[in-house]
Amino acid sequence: MTSSDTIAAIATPPGRGGIGVIRISGTDLKGFGKTLLGELPIPRQAMFKSFLDTEGRAIDQGIALFFPAPYSYTGEDVLELQGHGGPAIQNLLLNQCLISGARLAQPGEFTLRAYLNNKIDLIQAESVADLIEANTHEAARCAANSLRGNFSNKIEELVNMLTELRMFIEATINFPEDNIDDLPLSPIDEKLRQIDARFKQIFQTAQQGKILKEGIRIVLAGEPNVGKSSLLNQLAEDDVAIVTETPGTTRDIIERTITIEGITIHIIDTAGLRETSDIVEQKGIERTHAAIKNAHMVIWIMDISRQLPPIDVEAIHSISVDIPRITVYNKIDLINGPARIEQHNDSTAIDISAKTGVGIDLLRKEILTIAGWQHNTEGLFTARQRHLEALTTAQAHLNSARTFATHESQLELLAEELRLSQLALSSITGEFTADDLLGEIFSHFCIGK
């Protein structure tokens, strides 16, 4: 997956603005510099230039910057033209770049070339998109940490630990004259324990990073008129959903995105679960069940003011055991009850009033606790699902390796499991990555980046 042609794109967002940037990248941009500017600017020095068409007429005026290879973002020659930000003038300038021999860049192609030219690894490339898409200050800060190499360095540390152990074991296998039967296995086992401990630390941090990047998807579920919409309004601190005393008011899902301590929370208010002959309400209930299946967490709401709060056992059982659930007993204001939280084995119950807001802070804290969020973000980095899956695969091979570390005759199997573990880790940074995965990753980038 390499290319020697020249690419160009508008690097600033669509619409009108004070400045618009055209970015060009290729193996030799002398011809482009002469056509568009009369000459290439002095490397890494901003120069005020007229941007010309093929007949030498000025299209626009602005700042030109030239970064010769390999000291550029892509590792190729890069020319940036910073002109006025009107759509018409930007498209005229881009069209002149295409007439001059460039082609329109694909989404993320500049960053892809940076990766292919070893300017950044795959984690850093992904963090570029994460930094652009960050919704909170914390997510932006952690994406910047990944871009600086924090996550990559931790993966490299693990790879180095595995490499060191593999060298020792494979040298022993390849030189049996050193008497393999006398090989002490305790240092190998201790080294495996150390690697396993590092795996767990990095996996936990990566899980935190995934929460920061993607947020938490929470579904509010329960019977009609238990206060789901009121709770949504309290959490969102806005009148997002219509609240009435009439059961079945909410007939479709309502979604609102909020932040709790810098974490993005996607809250979905759903139609009340009950038997109904109303076709529209039935469709809403179907969507409720679908939303529950895709949730990271379910808040099951009940009316504490009822003598014996009815429990839809079938509906509760429809929630996968893998999905964390908080049971909220709402309307404590009707019984003059206090806000409180109770833990029973693996379940959590919280008494609140969605009408007055009493107990909402308890709920917010419990949401973060169940999601596994830790408040110390120092050294945190963003992570994606593929990173967690690769870490899980790598650790599974490490666990298998530990089972083969008990006897000298199984050293070949031990070495192979360590190799597979290292291979899984290398897929995170992109050292061994299929082209189809690269296409999937970079297709989600914006054009011009």
Is residue 91 located within the same domain as residue 142?
Answer: no
Is residue 246 located within the same domain as residue 208?
Answer: no
Which residues constitute the domain of residue 136? Answer: 132-212+381-442
Q: What is the pTM of this model?
A: 0.76
Domain boundary at 328, 350, 370, which? 370
- DSSP, collapsed to helix, strand or coil, labels residue 127 as helix
Apex 200 CA angle, 266 and 420, nearest 5:
105
Is residue 201 located within the same domain as residue 233?
Answer: no
Q: What is the CATH number of the domain that holds 154?
A: 1.20.120.430
Note whether residue 376 is domain-resident: no
Element (H, E) at 160: helix 150-174
In this structure, what token pair is assigned to residue 88? Answer: 């018409």
Give the C-alpha separation, 111 to 250, whole Å.
Answer: 45
Query: Domains in the chain: how many in total?
Result: 3
Please name which of 21, 20, 26 lies closest in space to residue 7, comparing C-alpha atoms.
26
List the beta strands (DSSP E) in 89-148: 103-104
Domain boundary at 79, 96, 119, which? 119
Domain boundary at 94, 119, 144, which? 119
Q: What is the CATH number of the domain that holds 79?
A: 3.30.1360.120
Residue 447: Cβ-neighbour burial (10 angstroms; 0-12, 13-18, 19+) = middle
Element (H, E) at 145: helix 137-147
Is residue 158 located within the same domain as residue 195?
Answer: yes
Is residue 362 located within the same domain as residue 388?
Answer: no
Is residue 358 located within the same domain as residue 414?
Answer: no
Note whether residue 65 is domain-resident: yes
Percent helix, strand, coil in the chain, to 5, is: 45, 20, 35
pLDDT at 285: 63
pLDDT at 321: 66
Cα distances (angstroms) measured from residue 269 to each of 212, 254, 258, 335, 404 = 22, 5, 13, 25, 50
Give the C-alpha separation, 69 to 21, whole Å.
Answer: 20
Is residue 153 located within the same domain as residue 111?
Answer: no
Give the C-alpha separation, 13 to 446, whole Å.
Answer: 9
Note whether residue 296 is domain-resident: yes
Is residue 240 located within the same domain as residue 360?
Answer: yes
Is residue 293 located within the same domain as residue 165?
Answer: no
Note whether residue 424 is domain-resident: yes
pLDDT at 252: 58
Under 8 Å between Cβ of 327 and 300: yes
pLDDT at 434: 65
pLDDT at 158: 92
Is residue 357 located within the same domain as residue 226?
Answer: yes
Is residue 302 located within the same domain as residue 352?
Answer: yes
Note whether residue 375 is domain-resident: no
Local confidence pLDDT in tens for the 449 residues of the chain = 556 799 999 999 888 888 999 999 999 899 888 999 999 999 999 999 999 998 899 999 999 999 999 999 999 999 999 999 989 999 999 999 999 999 999 999 999 999 999 999 999 999 998 888 888 888 888 889 999 999 999 999 999 999 888 887 877 766 655 554 455 566 788 889 999 999 999 998 888 888 888 888 888 888 878 888 888 888 888 766 444 454 444 445 788 888 888 788 888 887 666 555 556 555 666 676 777 777 888 888 888 887 655 555 555 555 666 788 888 999 999 999 899 998 877 778 999 998 999 999 999 998 888 877 766 666 788 888 899 999 999 999 999 988 887 766 678 888 899 999 999 999 999 886 667 667 777 887 888 88
Instruction: Return all residues near 372 (Cβ < 8 A) that are at least 6 apart.
Output: 207, 208, 211
Note whether residue 125 is domain-resident: no
pLDDT at 251: 46
Is residue 298 located within the same domain as residue 229?
Answer: yes
pLDDT at 73: 94
Note whether residue 2 is domain-resident: no
Note whether residue 261 is domain-resident: yes
In this structure, what token pair is assigned to residue 91? Answer: 């498209």
